[in-house]
Structure 1
Amino acid sequence: MPKVTRIRPAGPGHQVVTITGQGSGPCHMTSPCPDCPWRVDAVGVFPAQAFRHSAGTAYDMAQHTFACHSAGAENPRICAGFLLRGADHNLSVRLKYIQGQIGHVHDGGLELHNSYRAMAVANGVSPDDPVLADCRD
């Protein structure tokens, strides 16, 4: 199981959980949750600040991953939407794939944002926000 390394408030009723790849056991969700922020039909569920906090997970060679909000801090998992659309340049995720720790992940036929930047902008982060400058598409 991934290890929670940081929890930050991101608006009323919202928090951002940062996880690293440490630990054992299941490490990821296999499909996007009903209100997964990567889903196009879930725009507006989470405040823009949550996307500012999590932008670093989409930076080249990032070592922190985008956690599933439904799994929570008590049962941390890597978000399926992130694995499908935002993790190509994430070092932790790449290593987990190489080590065989990430199995099948599917979108369930749902429309997902094409990149972290697209998701963040759709949820109120300005395209010119410096936090998005290093996001890889």
Structure 2
Amino acid sequence: MRKVTRIRAAGPDHQVVTAEGGQGGYRRKPCPGCPWRVENDGSFPAEAFRHSAETAYDLSTHVFACHESGVERPHTCAGFLLRGADHNLAVRLGLRSGRFGSDVREDGGAMAIANGVPADDPVLAPCREGRSCR
């Protein structure tokens, strides 16, 4: 069963929700409003990316969910799978087990820095090779 374990404000109109448990699918291509798409740079507050940076840390077990999927029927974000999941343990295990396929379409884009997180922000330091969070 899916359970919301954390809700963090990320500006007046945004929040980052952490949900755990249950099974969720994955998106095959980034949604039009995906924060990983270059054309959406600046659409989300920097604080949302600070909260979400842990999904791109080396060996992270947290995944970045599609914000359009909602908490009840969560899906892993295609933009994240394409741009931020290279060193994510949950994604690597999911690829191996068949939870995630190789059918995600290339459509990614910039994320944290393009949305206002300074390149030297300490929250980005644990991102492996400096590219997953950026």
TM-score range, shorter chain: 0.7 to 0.9
Looking at structure 2, the residues matched to 19 and 99 of structure 1 have their Cα atoms a distance apart, in angstroms, of: 21
Select which of 98, 109, 127 maps to 1:112.
109
After superposition, the Cα gap between the structure-2 partners of 1:28 and 1:19, relative to the gap in structure 1 and judged at 3 Å, is farther
Select which of 81, 85, 88 maps to 2:86.
88
The aligned counterpart of 1:130 is 122
TM-score normalised to structure 2 length: 0.86
Looking at structure 1, the residues matched to 116 and 6 of structure 2 have their Cα atoms a distance apart, in angstroms, of: 23
TM-score normalised to structure 1 length: 0.85
Unaligned runs of 5+ residues in structure 1 are: 114-118
Unaligned runs of 5+ residues in structure 2 are: none
* 2:7–2:16 Cα contact (<8 Å) kept: yes
The aligned counterpart of 1:8 is 8
Looking at structure 2, the residues matched to 19 and 97 of structure 1 have their Cα atoms a distance apart, in angstroms, of: 20
Q: Partner amino acid for 2:114? A: A
Select which of 43, 46, 50 maps to 2:44.
46
The aligned counterpart of 1:116 is none
Compute the RMSD of aligned alpha carbons.
1.8
The aligned counterpart of 1:76 is 74
* 2:30–2:108 Cα contact (<8 Å) kept: no
Looking at structure 2, the residues matched to 58 and 135 of structure 1 have their Cα atoms a distance apart, in angstroms, of: 6
Looking at structure 2, the residues matched to 129 and 106 of structure 1 have their Cα atoms a distance apart, in angstroms, of: 30
- Give aligned-pair identity as a percent: 62
What secondary structure is seen at the aligned counterpart in 2 of 1:16? strand
What's the CA shift string for 1:62-106, capped at 9, x where partnerless?
010111111111221110000011101000011000000112111
Looking at structure 2, the residues matched to 95 and 3 of structure 1 have their Cα atoms a distance apart, in angstroms, of: 21
1:33 equivalent to 2:25? Answer no
Please report how far the alpha carbon of residue 6 of structure 1 lies from its aligned counterpart in structure 2 after TM superposition.
2.4
Please report how far the alpha carbon of residue 46 of structure 1 lies from its aligned counterpart in structure 2 after TM superposition.
0.6
